[in-house]
Structures are given as C-alpha cells and as structure tokens.
Amino acid sequence: MINYDPKRWWHVLLTFPRSPIFATLVLDVLGVGLYTGVIVWIELRFQIQDPLGPAILSLLGIILGLVLVFRTNTAYDRWWEGRRLWGQLVNVSRSLARQVDALLPPVRAERRATYAELLAAYPHALIRRLRGIGVPEPGRITSDLVQALHDDIRSGDLPREALIALTPMMAAFDDIQGGCERILKTPIPFSYSSYIKQFVVLYAAIVPFALAGEFGYGTIIAAMFIFFTTMGLELLAGEVEEPFGQDRNDLPLDDIATGIALDVRAILTLTTD
C-alpha cells in the first residue's frame, strides 16, 4: 500500500506520472487522441456536420456517471470490508492475549510462549492463504489454539471458566477468515465489468462525432481527457476490489501481521526482537 500525507497535495500531484493507472492508460489515451484527430480532420476537411451533436454526450454521460459511481463505491466497499476484518483480527488477537495473560500463571512461561507464537503465526498464515502462497495453515493454527486451551483447562493451568470467556474469541478467527475468503472468492461479475469498459470505449468513440464541429481540433484534448477519467475510474475500481494482493493500493497486510506479532508477544511478556 502507498503511504502518503494527504495534506501534501503537491507531492501526490508530482507522483502522478508514476501512478499505475496512468502507466496502464497512457498508450490507450494516445490512441484515442490519434483516432479523434483522424475523425476531426475528415469532418473539417470535407466540411461534414456533426452527425450527433453535443446533446448525445450529455444524455449518455449521465448514465455513464451513475454506472461508474456504483462501480467505484462497490469496489471501495470490498476494500474497506477487508480492512475492517483485519482490524477485527488485530483486536481479537490482542484481547485473547490479554485474557491468557490474566488467566495463565506467570510461571508458565512455556505455555505463554505457545499462545504467543500461535497468535503471531496466524495472520501470516492467513496472508498466505489469501494470496495462494504455499500450504494454507490458518485452520491448523486455530485448531492448535483450541487444543492448547483445552489442554490447559484439563491440566488446571486455566480455570474452567476460561472456556466460556475464550471460546467466542477463538470462533472469531473463523469468522474473519470466512469474511476474507468471501471477498476473495466473490469477484465483481465479469459481464458487469466488461459492460462498463465497452460503454466507456463507445462513449469515447462518439466524442469526435459530437464535438468536432464546435471545438475543432480541441476535440482531441477533450476526447483524451474524457477517456482517461472514465476508463481510469473503471481500472481504479478493478484495482481496489481485490484488497489482499501485493499491488500498490492493496491493504498493508504484512505490516498489520507484524504489528499483531509484536503486540501479542509484548502482552505475554516475551521479547519482541
């Protein structure tokens, strides 16, 4: 994820040419400009009046605007839902560590280490599962946590009442994993994304037929700008709707996982190096 200071707007502006959306669209935008230039030249050279007129762009622009707003909002909701789930994982991990710290005798340093390492390992295992890297291990880790809880209750290191207090926290790990997998395995329907891209391309294609007579060669700049803004919004939505990868705008899962590991080890009185 790209970290930046929103107050330093000029810094954001200066990094514009390096943005992934700009890099993806630069050749396409130039292609739209070339296409528009040819159409404008033909209309002006042979004095052909605009077959459509500016009004058609206004009508279609309203529809396109509504579609793009819905598209970007839906994509951002998925991104934010992923962040909310990982925020819940942070809270659950800390709470479980504090409960174990309060209930487990201080002399049981080995058992404290067991809980700390399992809690520290879980977010990294969940990252690997969401990114399809290696062998998925979150299920084994949560099973080991539950097994450790029951073992300590049977041995008397934890009171029986701990089962009531800690079971909901244990179950929360499955809820978080299930929520992340729902986002991962339920992408935006292909037909919907494809339709928006087709709509944007067709909208850009008719711009010279609607504006050439009024704006002349200025239509080239208008068409390039219109295409960049509309297709850019569609590509931006596609980039943020899958928040668990390693793209520049995805969630900082590795940093969150490292923070969880540091917190639970500190709570359970282990070293953080």
Q: Read off the pLDDT of residues 138-190 as tens digits, 9 standing for 90 and up.
A: 999 999 999 999 999 999 999 999 999 899 999 999 999 999 999 999 988 88
Q: Which domain holds residue 32?
A: 21-267
Q: How many domains does the chain have?
A: 1
Distance CA 240, CA 78 (A): 8
Output the six-digit token pair for 218. 């200025």
Alpha helices in 46-137 (DSSP H): 54-103, 109-131
Overall average pLDDT of the 31-58 stretch: 91
Amino acid at 153: I
Q: How far apart are CA 179 and CA 233, in angstroms?
A: 26
The rounded distance, in Å, linking the Cα atoms of 208 and 201 is 13
pLDDT at res. 250: 92
Return d(Cα 176, Cα 87) in angstroms, integer: 10
Q: Round to whole Å and give the CA distance between 140 and 125.
A: 10
Two tokens, residue 27 = 């050749």
- Residue 74 lies inside a defined structural domain of this protein: yes
Q: Stretch 17-25: mean pLDDT, rounded? A: 76
Query: In the prediction, which pLDDT does 76 show?
Result: 95
Give the model's confidence band at 13: pLDDT under 50 very low, under 70 low, under 90 confident, else very high.
Answer: low
Whether residue 2 lies inside any domain: the answer is: no
Report yes or no on 7 lying in a domain. no
Q: How far apart are CA 248 and CA 21, in angstroms?
A: 11
Q: What residue has token string 């709470």?
A: 95
Using a pLDDT cut of 70, give the percent of the chain over it: 92
Structure confidence at residue 272 (pLDDT): 45
In one letter, which amino acid is 261? A
Distance CA 97, CA 260 (A): 10
Residue 110 covered by a domain: yes
Average pLDDT over residues 220-229: 96
C-alpha to C-alpha distance for 100 and 45, rounded to whole angstroms:
81
Per-residue pLDDT tens for 95-112?
999 999 999 998 889 999
- The percent of residues in the chain predicted with pLDDT above 90, rounded, is 75
Flag whether pLDDT at 17 surpasses 60: no
Task: Categorize the per-residue pLDDT at 200 as very low, low, confident or very high, splitting at 50, 70 and 90.
Answer: very high
Report, as an integer, the average pLDDT of 179-205: 93
Residue 272 lies in a domain: no
- Whether residue 82 is contained in a domain is answered as yes
The reply to whether 86 falls in a domain is yes
* 8 falls within a domain: no
Q: How far is CA 249 from CA 25, 241, 244, 246, 260, in A?
A: 17, 10, 10, 8, 21
Output phi, psi for 8, to 5 deg: -90, 70
Return d(Cα 139, Cα 121) in angstroms, integer.
12
pLDDT value for 247 = 86
Candidates 266, 273, 272; CA nearest to 98 is: 266
Question: Given a cut of 50, is residue 273 above it in pLDDT?
Answer: no
Structure tokens at 155: 């041995």
Task: Give pLDDT tens digits for 73-88.
Answer: 999 999 999 999 999 9
266 has a pLDDT exceeding 90: yes
- Matching residue, tokens 């800690």: 166
- pLDDT, one tens digit per residue, over 115-145 is 999 999 999 999 999 999 877 789 999 999 9
